[in-house]
Structure 1
Amino acid sequence: MRMFRFFTLVLMCFCIVLNAQTKLEKVKSYFPDSKELRKDNIDWYRFSVPENWEKVNEKKISLAVAVLKSKMTSKQEPVVFIQGGPGGNTIAETMFWVDHPLRKNHDIILVDLRGTGFSEPKLCPDLGKKFFEILSKNQSEEQDVKDKVKVSLECRQDMINQGIDLNSYNSISVANDLHALKNVLKIQKWNMYGVSYGTYISQNYAKIFPNDVQSLILDSSIPNISEYHTNNTQNYMLSLSKLFKSCKEDTKCNKEYPNLEEVYYNTISELEKKPITVEVDQSIIQSGKFTYNAEDYKIAIQQSLYDKKLVEVLPLLIYQFKEKNTATLAGLVQAFSGALSLNYGNYFCFTCNEVIPYNNLQKYDSISSKYKKLNGGLSFYRSDFSVCSQWNNNQDILKLRNISLKNDNPFKVLILSGGFDPITPTYFANETSLNFNNNGLIVNGYTYGHGLGYTKSGASIIRNFVESKPITDSLKQYFNQKDVAFKTGITLNKGVVKMTGDMSSKQWYYFIPLIISLLVVFVVFISTLFTIISKKGKIIVNVFLLFLTSLLLIAFTISLGLGINSTLKDNFYLLAFGLPSKWNLAFQLYRVSLLLSIITFVISLIKVFKSNIPLYIMVFLAIGIIHFYFLDWFGW
């Protein structure tokens, strides 16, 4: 009994000492300009922890934490979300969690893991932009890799100059951070929800601190870190082959995009000979130009397989590369840039510490060489071997970090897997379940890509799992669908593509002249309609022409608005190409309105322009501004 009391006392002393090394401090919202988040029941924190958990009395780092309070007073165990990447931001996505189904009965805890997001220190936050600049250039694969290694090592040196301990940024350190956070928040157990690389972190945490875990949700899971990079090309090809097969078996897709597999591989060969250069906004690329070579093309298609909606338009996208549609490919650049939004200093600390040392470059190349038509693997990922070979130069790699993920603890496990996922494919889910003695519940989304939990269906499934409610077929009905809804019958239109880009990249006031002009045209429509009715059969030609012109412009605008809104609801990626052909009426209305605008202007100029110069100048200036926004849509 005395011995038990002694060990209890020792444990209490240890906990007191450990807690003294951390500090949780309430702060103001990380989004001071968001009225919605300021009014919400969210606690924002700064959490100070040791940078090196083996040297707890030395340097501290600061983690950003957000606790979204449950909407019910009687709540269940909290859910802590672990972002992937590694290097992905978490708190930046707070709005996604505000109305998440889980929040009804659970607090949602978001943490910017060390070296990411609002946490400090920040690890080379601009490195992704430098990578994108490298990709945008028309240069060889060897030069791309050389430049990537150069800027990555500059990042490494910059972190060393700041006194950052590179070896302290790994999954084990994160596990200690989270365990300390759980204790200081006075949480007994929580539900751990990891996505992508966050599933590897989560499994490490569950192995080290099993008593902290109520349940484990692994979305797009990693079962074994030593195969994560090695099998990258094989995993990509599994998803790509499924795409080709699905399109071939779909009558409409196969008719509109015949020989898709052949087109894909032929495009690789063509881009190796002659890359495609497109003009883009300088806010995206400083030079204002992006050149797609074969490697850029391969990684663009690979990244598109992450998203269900993008999978639906992939045959169309592959054909746009074939047809060298520069307008569409320019629009793609902006979406492509989002793939490099990780905190890459953090990415390489984790990757070079605990991934690449356990992956085999020779095996990677051996697997890639099997796919002759692909002309090698994906240099975007292969280059990580080159970066890490020098990143880890002259330093010891702690092999013990690659702990076994086998776990026979009794907490329940949910595993979500997308059928087209090119980085954590379906067989990863089965292997992950083996880590838990085959006790993991696997939910497949056959037509989905990466991160199923971000969908409405996925969120509901996770909620039911956490709350021990049945996951019925009706709940999984969208995941159970096996046919891809490939998008066919799309009318390509560079104007729609341009407007979509403008709405994304330009400030709202860019569209003020258009809105004012449309209001003026609406007033003209009402006044001319009233004039025509009041004349009782005596119609003045120029008034009637103004009425028709304003009517057509309004009809065009309404029909275009309805088409864009409908497409946004169905698949917003289509706006990077044009609109479904059922909205072709909008384009026809515009052509007629343009012709009628010219006729009306000429007749008004000849007949009545001088009688009321200010009025007609205002009217035709408004019409002219509308055409300024839409004129180049149709190559006039």
Structure 2
Amino acid sequence: MKRVIWLMCGVLMIIMLPTSTLGNSTVSPAHAQEGTVPYIEWLEKCKFKMIFLPPDTEVLGETITCGILHTYEKPNEPSSAPIQVVFAILHANTTTPRNDPILYLAGGPGSSALFSIDVWVDTPLRMERDIILVDQRGVGYSTPSLSCDAYMRSYYSRDISNITRCVNELHARGVDLGNYNTVNNAHDIGELMTLLQAEQGYESYNLLGISYGTRLGLVVMRDHPQLVRSAILDSVYPLVVDHYSELGPNLQRAIEAVFVACERDEACNRAYPNLEQVFYEVLEQLNIHGGSVSFLNAVFSALYNKNYFQALPAAIYLIHEGNRHEGENYLYFGSPNSDFEGYDSYYDSYDSDLFDEYIAAYRKFNHANAFFMALQCQEEFYFSSYDIAVETAAARNTDRTIADSQLYDVERMAEECPHWFSTAAPESSNERIYSDIPTLVVSGEFDPITPPQWAKIARETLSNSYYFSFPGLGHGVIDGHPCVSKIFSDFLDDPYTQPDASCRAEMRTDWYIHPNYR
């Protein structure tokens, strides 16, 4: 779901060497049952280069083990092309782990789980359970890779010839884009869970999905309920919502939530009074002088993460007074009082060549743009349209400038989707998911793309579910506050009992108060 991926949002990062099998590893014959698809190929060593992690934190191949699920592009059809789904197991920080691991489903669609493996190393969720990270079919280090440099270059130029080149390259490699969808994605997850039960002794799984990962998680719950013990759905993207028609209204809702939260906070309201009025005056200024779309796109991205949006009121005031450069820098690079402070000392200590290698790997592996387009066109956009988006924005009284800033994406999808994939997915791709699996459904107050209302929609057909919205958080609440970690852990320990969420009352946004307004 994330349209703008921030390079420096997470500074603790790793690189996996770019080979089709994670390096030249020796396969254990006992586990590589070649010819019997699906099967798991276990790698004796994960071929990682570590950046920003102490060298003694993990022993790759021991505390973290890696493998490859070998399966078919078209499930259960040996005549279809073979594909490899890469995964890693971060073993629990205990000698007596529980036999119900956490299986993480990344968002995007198209984001690599393995590229962000670092953020899972020290999570409290790893205290008693293994954590399984999977690069979904076509994504990250899985093969074939549905990442296309030509398309990235054409994103803003909207050069259709680059899309044609990308699609032709994929077809020449034997890729059938129609097979890269959520149902097949869920089938891979089901195969992996079944094989790991036999080879690792797992009993059942706790799904943890974020953004698109929640949509994938819902389909796994529907198609493989016998394998799932519980599910945590963070920043929910239900099958039944119309993502593209709601882009503008959802952004405006999140912005207005910031106005309300700032007004309720004594320090924020004193520093930035009448924030809503000042914001819309900024839009008027930018409409006259240019820059409203880039500003709103920066606001959109900042609302994902507290390290950015806690400086949003300051940015609005600075731009209003003519200091656009400083104001927008806060949106692009983070708040001065964010968790990012102090990272400069880390950067200074690292080898520049290694960091350059990280940048190259980031561009190649972090997000599979062709996977995103193929899946979103099939399952989402073909059930919507540009006209529906315009009508929805008007019906929900969305500010015209805000609506127009998001209609760029809708217009782009309308132009490009016929060149990626020409037909819509089955109607089942937009149906409600019914389940009695214990499910924790959560959302962030300032989330600009998967609003709290979507979480409530998903919960309506999840009979054993609990819902919590977290104040002062954006998209992906999992690592936003210790209160979230506590609720997640309590739920996993006893998924049939509603966790105590009283700690939410202590959550506050640490608004950045600029010296000019103190």
> Structure 1 residues 345 and 30, CA, compared in 2 at 3 Å: closer, same or farther?
farther
d(CA) in 2 for partners of 1:116, 1:18? 23
Amino acid of the structure 2 residue aligned with 1:326: H
- Asked if residue 448 in structure 1 is aligned to residue 463 in structure 2, the reply is no
d(CA) in 2 for partners of 1:414, 1:86? 21
- CA displacement, residues 354-386 of structure 1 (integer Å, 9 cap, x when unaligned): 111222432211122332442634135323532
> Structure 1 residues 112 and 324, CA, compared in 2 at 3 Å: closer, same or farther?
same
Amino acid of the structure 2 residue aligned with 1:26: W
Q: CA deviation at 1:485?
A: 3.2
The answer (yes or no) to whether the contact 1:445–1:480 under 8 Å persists in 2 is no
- Asked if residue 107 in structure 1 is aligned to residue 124 in structure 2, the reply is no
- Asked if residue 297 in structure 1 is aligned to residue 313 in structure 2, the reply is no
> Structure 1 residues 301 and 131, CA, compared in 2 at 3 Å: closer, same or farther?
farther
- Asked if residue 163 in structure 1 is aligned to residue 212 in structure 2, the reply is no
Match of 1:32 in 2: 49
d(CA) in 2 for partners of 1:89, 1:368? 32
Amino acid of the structure 1 residue aligned with 2:91: K
Matches within 5 A, 1:167-178: 167-178=178-189
The answer (yes or no) to whether the contact 2:253–2:448 under 8 Å persists in 1 is yes
d(CA) in 1 for partners of 2:230, 2:40? 25
d(CA) in 1 for partners of 2:507, 2:93? 36
Q: CA deviation at 1:44?
A: 0.9
d(CA) in 2 for partners of 1:375, 1:403? 27
Amino acid of the structure 2 residue aligned with 1:208: D
> Structure 1 residues 379 and 403, CA, compared in 2 at 3 Å: closer, same or farther?
closer
Amino acid of the structure 2 residue aligned with 1:303: S
The answer (yes or no) to whether the contact 2:244–2:389 under 8 Å persists in 1 is yes
d(CA) in 2 for partners of 1:217, 1:19? 35
TM-score, normalised to structure 1, is: 0.64
Match of 1:306 in 2: 304
- Asked if residue 319 in structure 1 is aligned to residue 317 in structure 2, the reply is yes
Match of 1:201 in 2: 216
- Asked if residue 121 in structure 1 is aligned to residue 144 in structure 2, the reply is yes
- Asked if residue 62 in structure 1 is aligned to residue 84 in structure 2, the reply is yes
The answer (yes or no) to whether the contact 2:151–2:166 under 8 Å persists in 1 is no
Q: CA deviation at 1:59?
A: 0.9
Q: CA deviation at 1:68?
A: 1.1
Match of 1:617 in 2: none
Amino acid of the structure 2 residue aligned with 1:197: Y
- Asked if residue 227 in structure 1 is aligned to residue 245 in structure 2, the reply is no
d(CA) in 1 for partners of 2:475, 2:363? 13
**Stretch moving more, 358-367 or 215-224:** 358-367
d(CA) in 2 for partners of 1:125, 1:333? 25
d(CA) in 1 for partners of 2:277, 2:143? 48
- CA displacement, residues 254-294 of structure 1 (integer Å, 9 cap, x when unaligned): 3433332233233333333434xxxxxxxxxxxxxxxxx32
**Stretch moving more, 305-314 or 374-383:** 374-383
- CA displacement, residues 11-46 of structure 1 (integer Å, 9 cap, x when unaligned): xxxxxx999222311223241346333355111112
Amino acid of the structure 2 residue aligned with 1:343: A
d(CA) in 2 for partners of 1:392, 1:122? 16
Q: CA deviation at 1:197?
A: 0.8
The answer (yes or no) to whether the contact 2:302–2:332 under 8 Å persists in 1 is no
**Stretch moving more, 337-346 or 228-237:** 337-346
Match of 1:480 in 2: 505
> Structure 1 residues 92 and 460, CA, compared in 2 at 3 Å: closer, same or farther?
farther
SS in 2 for 1:452: coil
Q: CA deviation at 1:191?
A: 0.9
Structure of greater Rg: 1
d(CA) in 1 for partners of 2:263, 2:117? 40
Q: CA deviation at 1:242?
A: 1.6
The answer (yes or no) to whether the contact 2:310–2:512 under 8 Å persists in 1 is yes
Consecutive unaligned residues of structure 1, counting only runs of 5 or more, are 1-16, 135-143, 276-292, 493-580, 582-636
The answer (yes or no) to whether the contact 1:226–1:358 under 8 Å persists in 2 is no
Among 403, 407, 411, which residue is 2:434 paired with? Answer: 407
Q: CA deviation at 1:75?
A: 2.5
Aligned alpha-carbon RMSD (Å): 3.1
d(CA) in 1 for partners of 2:453, 2:363? 24
Q: CA deviation at 1:66?
A: 0.2
Among 278, 290, 304, which residue is 1:263 paired with? Answer: 278
The answer (yes or no) to whether the contact 1:416–1:453 under 8 Å persists in 2 is no
- Asked if residue 381 in structure 1 is aligned to residue 409 in structure 2, the reply is yes
> Structure 1 residues 68 and 229, CA, compared in 2 at 3 Å: closer, same or farther?
same
The answer (yes or no) to whether the contact 2:318–2:326 under 8 Å persists in 1 is no
d(CA) in 1 for partners of 2:371, 2:245? 21
Query: What count of residue pairs does the alignment treat as equivalent?
Result: 443
Match of 2:5 in 1: none
The answer (yes or no) to whether the contact 2:140–2:367 under 8 Å persists in 1 is no
d(CA) in 2 for partners of 1:125, 1:30? 24
Q: CA deviation at 1:172?
A: 0.7
Among 419, 437, 443, which residue is 2:445 paired with? Answer: 419
- Asked if residue 464 in structure 1 is aligned to residue 481 in structure 2, the reply is no
> Structure 1 residues 128 and 250, CA, compared in 2 at 3 Å: closer, same or farther?
farther
d(CA) in 2 for partners of 1:245, 1:131? 38
Match of 1:352 in 2: 377
**Stretch moving more, 343-352 or 395-404:** 395-404
Percent of aligned pairs with the same residue?
A: 23
Amino acid of the structure 2 residue aligned with 1:37: E
- CA displacement, residues 315-346 of structure 1 (integer Å, 9 cap, x when unaligned): 11223333244255357556799999632111
TM-score, normalised to structure 2, is: 0.77
SS in 1 for 2:207: strand
Match of 2:14 in 1: none
Match of 1:574 in 2: none
> Structure 1 residues 75 and 252, CA, compared in 2 at 3 Å: closer, same or farther?
closer
Match of 1:396 in 2: 423
Consecutive unaligned residues of structure 2, counting only runs of 5 or more, are 1-32, 336-358
Higher helix share: 1
> Structure 1 residues 26 and 18, CA, compared in 2 at 3 Å: closer, same or farther?
closer
SS in 2 for 1:230: helix
d(CA) in 2 for partners of 1:32, 1:484? 36
Among 104, 118, 131, which residue is 1:95 paired with? Answer: 118
Matches within 5 A, 1:533-552: none
- CA displacement, residues 484-518 of structure 1 (integer Å, 9 cap, x when unaligned): 332214369xxxxxxxxxxxxxxxxxxxxxxxxxx
> Structure 1 residues 237 and 92, CA, compared in 2 at 3 Å: closer, same or farther?
same
- CA displacement, residues 378-433 of structure 1 (integer Å, 9 cap, x when unaligned): 1353235324542356x433314516333233x21101111111111111222111
Matches within 5 A, 1:507-526: none
SS in 1 for 2:42: strand
> Structure 1 residues 71 and 168, CA, compared in 2 at 3 Å: closer, same or farther?
same
- CA displacement, residues 277-313 of structure 1 (integer Å, 9 cap, x when unaligned): xxxxxxxxxxxxxxxx321111111121112332321
The answer (yes or no) to whether the contact 2:233–2:439 under 8 Å persists in 1 is yes
Structure with the larger RCO, 1 or 2 (CA within 8 Å, 6+ apart): 2
> Structure 1 residues 435 and 30, CA, compared in 2 at 3 Å: closer, same or farther?
farther
